[in-house]
């Protein structure tokens, strides 16, 4: 099939274009973002940049929407309304932002626009009315078992941790002031100053390319995940696949994704602190739990299952508009 989509979440796009369909992307916007710009001179072999004129002459089989504005953009450029004149799926990446658990999704009761949620928790908490929904859990490419844990430090991977503060549990880092923490991600360089004097052992370790980030994470003994209210982060799954033991705040989808024996999982911060101290002090135990962590992530979040689920979703959407 020919699938029109936008490169909204890089990791998600990478997993999706590993499938067998042809993925179509409109050119970058005036700022140079979008299209296939992120791939530079080496886009995936089944990803193509196409113009609106080409799509009008030969519409895609399905459009995969991820932002509400893409509905109007698609209507304007293709002159076909998604969900009515064009087979469409809306992929919802996020948890509701307000009035939980009563938030109605903007596409609630939209008959022609099935919704795909990335976690069961998200589907449970969005009120989608009579709109058809399904869950396709994340698919993450296996970065390989890289764990060494040679550094008795915590890895903390969050983009914009200061701006997103309580959402990503950044404020909770102050409770981990006895430990050395290496923070990775966009604007993570703002974190050390934002946490002082409550925590003076946080170090900005870089906003690295995926491969470099995986190597750097795997050198740290424990991965720390403190998100209060976001969808299940790909960095957590990647840490598990690397073979890292994980210390995780037990919120949103964590209880489904992380077995307690993979490190520690709790809403009691004192329990997480105790587990962190024990894992940092015992490299053999950290290694053992990291292997359990890796197996759990591979079993649930492998790319083959993910692509199979998407194949079914695309097939059903296209059949309804055949």
User: Measured between alpha carbons, how far is 88 from 94 in angstroms, rounded to an integer?
Assistant: 19
Instruction: Answer whether residue 243 is part of any domain.
Output: yes
Give the CA radius of gyration of the chain.
Answer: 21
Instruction: Answer whether residue 145 is part of any domain.
Output: no
Residue 100, pLDDT score: 87
**Domain identity same for 218 and 133:** no
Q: Which residues contact 98 (CB under 8 A, 6 or more apart)?
A: none
Report pLDDT digits (tens) over 78-118.
999 999 999 999 999 999 988 888 899 999 999 889 999 99
Using CA atoms, how far residue 154 sits from 34, 178, 247, in Å, is 33, 11, 9
**Domain identity same for 56 and 124:** yes
As a whole number, the mean pLDDT across the chain is 95
DSSP code, position 116: E
**Domain identity same for 122 and 185:** no
Is the pLDDT assigned to residue 41 strictly greater than 80?
yes
Specify the residue for token string 């072999």.
Answer: 45
User: Measured between alpha carbons, how far is 139 from 15 in angstroms, rounded to an integer?
Assistant: 6
Tokens, residue 240: 């598990």
**Domain identity same for 9 and 115:** yes
User: Measured between alpha carbons, how far is 311 from 299 in angstroms, rounded to an integer?
Assistant: 19
**Domain identity same for 39 and 168:** no
Q: What stretch of H or E contains 222? A: strand 220-225
Q: How confident is the model at residue 254 (pLDDT cuts 50, 70, 90)?
A: very high
Of 235-244, 278-287, 313-322, the least confident: 313-322
**Domain identity same for 40 and 159:** no
Residue 40, pLDDT score: 87
Report pLDDT digits (tens) over 47-85.
999 999 999 999 999 999 999 999 999 999 999 999 999
CATH of the domain at 239: 3.40.50.2000
Tokens, residue 124: 């449970």
Instruction: Answer whether residue 44 is part of any domain.
Output: yes
Residue 162, pLDDT score: 96
**pLDDT above 70 coverage of the chain, percent:** 100
Residue 316, pLDDT score: 95
Instruction: Answer whether residue 146 is part of any domain.
Output: no
CATH of the domain at 130: 3.40.50
State which residues form the domain around 181.
151-300
User: Measured between alpha carbons, how far is 215 from 126 in angstroms, rounded to an integer?
Assistant: 36
Q: How confident is the model at residue 34 (pLDDT cuts 50, 70, 90)?
A: confident
**Domain identity same for 123 and 61:** yes
**Domain identity same for 282 and 314:** no
Residue 320, pLDDT score: 86
Instruction: Answer whether residue 41 is part of any domain.
Output: yes
Instruction: Answer whether residue 39 is part of any domain.
Output: yes
Residue 33, pLDDT score: 73
Report pLDDT digits (tens) over 7-18.
999 889 999 999
Instruction: Answer whether residue 144 is part of any domain.
Output: no
**Domain identity same for 94 and 227:** no
CA angle 69, 8, 28 (to 5 degrees): 80
Domains identified in the chain, total number: 2
Specify the residue for token string 């424990």.
Answer: 222
Tokens, residue 273: 């602190």
User: Measured between alpha carbons, how far is 300 from 253 in angstroms, rounded to an integer?
Assistant: 13
Is the pLDDT assigned to residue 322 strictly greater than 80?
no
């Amino acid at each position: 099939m020919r699938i029109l989509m936008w490169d909204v979440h890089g990791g998600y796009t990478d997993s999706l274009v590993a499938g067998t369909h042809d993925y179509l992307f409109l050119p970058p916007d005036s700022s140079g973002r979008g299209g296939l710009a992120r791939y530079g001179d080496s886009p995936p072999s089944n990803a193509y940049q196409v113009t609106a004129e080409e799509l009008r002459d030969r519409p895609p089989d399905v459009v995969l929407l991820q932002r509400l504005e893409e509905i109007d953009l698609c209507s304007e450029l293709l002159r076909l309304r998604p969900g009515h004149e064009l087979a469409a799926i809306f992929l919802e990446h996020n948890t509701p932002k307000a009035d939980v658990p009563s938030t109605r999704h903007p596409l609630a009761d939209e008959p022609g626009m099935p919704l795909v949620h990335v976690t069961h928790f998200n589907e449970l908490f969005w009120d989608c009315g009579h709109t058809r929904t399904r869950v396709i859990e994340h698919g993450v490419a296996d970065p390989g078992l890289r764990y060494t844990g040679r550094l008795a430090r915590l890895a903390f991977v969050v983009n914009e941790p200061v701006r997103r503060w309580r959402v990503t549990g950044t404020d909770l880092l102050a409770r981990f002031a006895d430990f050395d923490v290496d923070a990775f991600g966009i604007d993570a360089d703002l974190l050390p100053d934002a946490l002082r004097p409550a925590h003076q052992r946080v170090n900005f370790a870089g906003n690295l390319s995926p491969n470099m980030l995986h190597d750097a994470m795997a050198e740290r003994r424990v991965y720390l995940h403190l998100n209060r209210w976001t969808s299940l982060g790909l960095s957590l799954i990647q840490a598990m696949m690397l073979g890292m033991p994980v210390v995780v705040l037990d919120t949103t989808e964590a209880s489904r994704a992380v077995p307690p024996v993979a490190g520690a999982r709790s809403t009691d911060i004192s329990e997480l602190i105790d587990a962190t101290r024990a894992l940092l002090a015992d490299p053999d135990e950290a290694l053992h739990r990291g292997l359990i962590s890796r197996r759990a992530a591979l079993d649930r979040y492998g790319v083959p299952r993910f692509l199979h689920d998407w194949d079914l979703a695309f097939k059903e959407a296209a059949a309804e508009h055949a």
